[in-house]
Every structure is written in C-alpha cells, then in structure tokens.
Amino acid sequence: MSIENIDTKKLPKHLAIIMDGNGRWAKQKGLLRALGHENGTKSVKATVESCAKLGIENLTLYAFSTENWNRPKLEVDTLMKLLIASLKKELETLQKNNIQLNSIGNIDLLPSKAKKELEAVIEKTKNNTRMTLTLALSYGAREELLNAVKKISDKVKNNIISLDSIDESIINQHLYTHNLPDVDLVIRTSGEHRISNFLLWQIAYAEFYFTDVLWPDFKEDDLYQAIISYQKRERRFGKTSEQIK
C-alpha cells in the first residue's frame, strides 16, 4: 500500500483514532504494560507525520479517557510521565512540520507538570497552520455533552440566549471541539468494535474503520489502507445514492 493509491482530493478533513492495544502488545511479548505504552508513542509520531504529509487538516487522538483514571496508579503515573516526555521531545517535530497542538477534555485533572507542559506546547505551536493535532486527554464524550448542556442552560437562565434559538450550531459552540469540523473517519485498532465514550456528537456521520492491528504495530501502510477504504465508500448523509450522484 502506498501514498500513490490515495486520492488527495478526497481526504477526510477530520480523522480521529482510538489508539488501542498497547497493553495486549506488551503482554504478547512478555513485557510490562509500560513498554507497550512507550512503543505506542512511536506509532503516534509516525501517524502524525504521515497525516501531515498526506495533507489531512485535523487529526484527533484518543490518548487518555476519563475512565482511564480508574486504572492502576502505577500505569496512570507511567502514562502521565510518557505524556510529559513526548511533549518535550516532539515539540521540535511539531514546529518543523507546521503542526498546531490542541487538547480536549478535562485537563484540570492532569498532574500539574503534565498540564503545564501541555499548555506550553499548545502556546508555542498556536500559529502553525498545516494541521491541527488534538489530544483527547482526560476526555469523556458524556461529560463533554453534560458540560455543554449545563453551559447552555445557564445562558438560557440568564437570558443570554433564548430556548428557541438552541440548535445544532449552539450545541457545537459549547463542545470542547467547537473549533474543529465533524469527524469524517474514525479508526480503531486492536480488533475492538466500540466507541468507548469518544466524540459521540462529532461522529454522527463518520465512517468507521476497524483493524486487528495493535496500536504499537500500526504503521504508515495501515493508515493508508484505512484511508483508501474510506475513499471507496459512498457517504450519503441520509440521502439516496441517486441524490448524491
């Protein structure tokens, strides 16, 4: 599979990836789970650079969910240390590739060092224009929707907006992703077929691509295969094939 097989005029404007399988990858090799997460960061780097090379404008990676806080403390601590190290290490790569870093989720729950490093890289890359890389950290879609409902309700209560004016646009404005387009393609690795509380509103009309490949083994060719599959599909958004044609 090569880049020549991809129609660069039909790329997803927003690609979202549920990066799954780090733990199983490590277990299969008789390694500690931490080494699975560490090797997963290599796939992150390769995928980000490949997406930028292709011309994908928005890439969102499900890095850490609200539910992940329930994992063993040692694993959570390891993931936070990896986050800090990766942000420091990859800043130069982001700048070189003109990539803007963005984050969604309740980042106030992150350890102070991780939050500080994240905010620093976001600030340093804010003027980059080639691609927006969004990390979903301490993210849960239900929490996101609940927060949006609360904010909108408060504005109605205080006569900032009227009840009758609430539409999809108003809801979009109050989501973490208010500055991003809807997702066109969701990729999930490791053979699982679940959404896992990820971007529930934003993926309403997304295409899905599931692969058995574990995240640390996810390579450039796997990304190309997913995009080629996406490009072969007919996206109708509720219309008939005849209407689309």
Residues forming the active site: 20, 68
- Which tokens in the block code for residue 137? 């950290």
CB atoms within 10 A of CB 132: 20
Distance CA 31, CA 238 (A): 47
DSSP state of 182: P
| Residue given tokens 């007919």 in the structure block | 234
At CB < 8 A and 24+ separation, what contacts does 90-95 make?
A: 90/45, 91/121, 91/124, 91/125, 93/45, 93/48, 93/49, 94/121, 94/125, 94/128, 94/133, 95/124, 95/125, 95/128
For the purposes of burial, counting CB atoms within 10 Å of the CB of 229, is it exposed (0-12), middle (13-18) or buried (19 or more)? Answer: middle
Which conformational region is residue 98 in: left (phi greater than 0), alpha (psi within -120 to 50 degrees), or beta?
left
